[in-house]
Amino acid sequence: MVSQLVDLSTGNTIITTEITIVEVISAFNRRVREATLTQEDYELVRADFDALCGSEYRFVSTALPVLERARDLLEQHPLRAYDAVQLATGLIANDTLLGAGLPALTFLSADTRLLNVAITEGLVTDNPNVYP
């Protein structure tokens, strides 16, 4: 699994669950419906996102181990379903990286509640909203 998650030549890898694709497209379309993103701009950001999915992101399958871990997280913390899947993916990827002797991942989210749970679960976190 580590070879699928990490590109050692770049030093950085973005690891996420396949559900991220659905979440991002949902967010883009919500912005179109709210008229804060034009259809033309949607097409551009959608194309950029599709390109990034193919070149920059490493996707973890939303398979049974991830879903079981997400279920356990939902029983312990007040999370939304997709947030639990994202966190479960991060925890499993982190365990895999550490088990291979690689550095811990940094769990990135703009959701403070999710970050607090990630910290409780032992992950290093970062919030992109704290940077100018």
Distance of CA 70 to the CA centre of its chain: 13
Alpha-carbon gap, residue 92 to 38, rounded angstroms: 37
Of 7 and 75, the structure prediction assigns the larger pLDDT to 75
Where does the pLDDT of residue 13 fall: very low under 50, low under 70, confident under 90, or very high at 90 and above?
confident
Q: Is the pLDDT of residue 127 over 80?
A: yes
Q: Is 3.40.50.1010 the CATH number for 2-130? A: yes
* pLDDT value at residue 62: 87
Q: In the chain, where are the structural domains located?
A: 2-130
**Alpha-carbon distance 90 to 57, whole Å?**
13
User: Would you say residue 3 has pLDDT above 50?
Assistant: no
Query: CB 75: neighbour CB atoms within 10 A?
Result: 9
Q: Give the tens place of pLDDT for each residue, 14-47.
A: 899 999 999 999 999 999 999 999 999 999 999 9
Q: What are phi and psi of 14, to 5 degrees?
A: -100, 115
